[in-house]
Structure 1
Amino acid sequence: MEMLRVQFAVMAIFAFILALLIPSINAQSPAPAPPPTSDGVAVDQGIAYVLMLVALVLTYIIH
Structure 2
Amino acid sequence: MSPHKLRHTYATNLAEQTNGDIPLIMSQLGHTSSDISLLYINTTREKARLAAEALDKRREKL
Normalised TM-score (structure 1):
0.30
- Which one has the largest radius of gyration? 1
Higher relative contact order (CA 8 A, sep 6+): 2
